A and B are shown apart, each in its own frame.
Chain A
Amino acid sequence: LAKTTQPISMDSYEGQEVNITCSHNNIATNDYITWYQQFPSQGPRFIIQGYKTKVTNEVASLFIPADRKSSTLSLPRVSLSDTAVYYCLVEAGGGADGLTFGKGTHLIIQP
């Protein structure tokens, strides 16, 4: 079971780059790393997914070192609307063992 560890909360300011790191020391060979964003009273929304090195899309980047025991979600130039809870999920191929979301990181963006 690939367990994840994230900071409980983070603060930043509008226009800054925010990096949220997730530890997953016992990640398996088949596992992908997926990040979700959740606003209050809504379901989580997919942000980005990766397996190794770097992945970038229109909203974020995901950095994964060679040992894959951690990953970093990078949000460029955040705004107030980025205030949300961010979850790192290590999805296990072939089974539901990886369907365990931690408590996530509550990111608070201030003006």
Chain B
Amino acid sequence: EAGVTQSPTHLIKTRGQQATLRCSPISGHTSVYWYQQALGLGLQFLLWYDEGEERNRGNFPPRFSGRQFPNYSSELNVNALELEDSALYLCASSLWGVVSNQPQHFGDGTRLSIL
């Protein structure tokens, strides 16, 4: 079974640009979660999508947005990039739409570096 895949592995941008990160969940998983992990810090919850709808978002500004496609893959967009957006962006998927006892399965992330 293929795991969660994220692309690109690394992304270098400059301040003010826009970044698009992509995630393919495990086959059969309908929920996709996005996290930001700045260097040396824990995971900060960004967004949760299920069945194409945004179900919840963390405490991040509106320039962080995304969507989930009919095939359950997802895209995270970050507009007007700032230096502090440099981080590892992790995507996870789970089997059910409701977060209950289904653990999340993570990809290995996209390292976004802002110059």
Contact = CB atoms under 8 A, between A and B. Distances in A.
Contacts of A87: 42-43
Contacts, number: 68
Nearest to A93: B100
B11 to A, nearest CB: 14
Interface stretch (A12-20, A37-45, A67-75): A37-45
B106 A44 contact: yes
Interface stretch (A58-66, A76-84, A98-106): A98-106
Nearest to B103: A46
B81 interface: no
Interface magnitude class on chain B = 20 to 34
B92 interface: yes
Interface residues of A, number: 26
B56 interface: yes
Nearest to A34: B103
B4 A103 contact: no
Contacts of B92: 43
B98 A44 contact: no
A44 B43 contact: yes
A93 B107 contact: no
Q: Sorted from nearest, which 3 A-B pairs have the closest CB atoms?
A: A43-B106, A96-B56, A101-B43
Interface of B: 4, 33, 35, 41-45, 48, 55-56, 58, 88, 90, 92, 98-101, 103-109, 111
